[in-house]
Amino acid sequence: MKGLSSLERIILECVGVRPLTYEEILRQTGLMENVCFNLLQALIIKGLLRSEAGHYKISDISPATMEDLNGPEARKAESLELIEAVLEQESDRVFRFLKIALDPRDEKIFLAMLSNVESFLKDAHRRSQSTVPVKNRRVVFWGVGEVDRLLKQIMIGG
């Protein structure tokens, strides 16, 4: 089993908090009914979910399967899928992409600021994850890369 789609992952995130009914999953995810139903069935077939007494629950998942689902390749595929969706979104997006010159001092300051942002985001998520439905959460991405290295990666691939 190679990774999960973002849509499958969003269902698992919801059900991972507590067992949910089909209707609760629909409200939490905002998925269309037919899409939600098909994804739930696919997750059951994959052995990741089970249905008991009208509620969907996470199945017991082996460490090897967890690594396959959450390993670097799976995370990369999910990130690319989400970033592509953000870039294609026409409204309600705040996205900035800059190629800038930073001297070593400014780069250290910027990296410290990114560290603060990451701490803030982790704390905010921890505080709000039980009250904010998955469909109302935000996708945030940030980072910095060296143009020379990125160009080499583009040229050689992967």
pLDDT, residue 80, reads 85
Shared-domain flag, residues 51 and 106: no
pLDDT, residue 79, reads 83
Shared-domain flag, residues 88 and 100: no
Q: Which of left, alpha, beta for 155 (phi over 0: left; psi -120 to 50: alpha)?
A: alpha
Shared-domain flag, residues 5 and 34: yes
Q: Could you tell me if 130 and 155 are in contact, meaning their C-beta atoms sit under 8 angstroms apart?
A: no
Q: What is the mean pLDDT of the chain?
A: 88
Which of 93, 114, 133 terminates a domain? The answer is: 93
Indicate the number of domains in the chain.
Answer: 2
Give one DSSP letter per residue of 6-49, joined into a string. Answer: HHHHHHHHHHHHS-B-HHHHHHHH---HHHHHHHHHHHHHTTSE
Q: Please report, for the domain that includes residue 75, its CATH number.
A: 1.10.10.10
pLDDT tens for 74-108 read 888 888 888 888 778 777 767 777 889 999 999 99
pLDDT of residue 31 exceeding 90: yes
pTM for the model stands at 0.71
CA distance linking residue 139 with residue 23, whole number of Å: 24
pLDDT, residue 2, reads 63
pLDDT tens for 35-76 read 999 999 999 999 999 999 999 999 988 888 888 888 888 888
CA distance linking residue 11 with residue 85, whole number of Å: 18
Q: Could you tell me if 86 and 95 are in contact, meaning their C-beta atoms sit under 8 angstroms apart?
A: yes
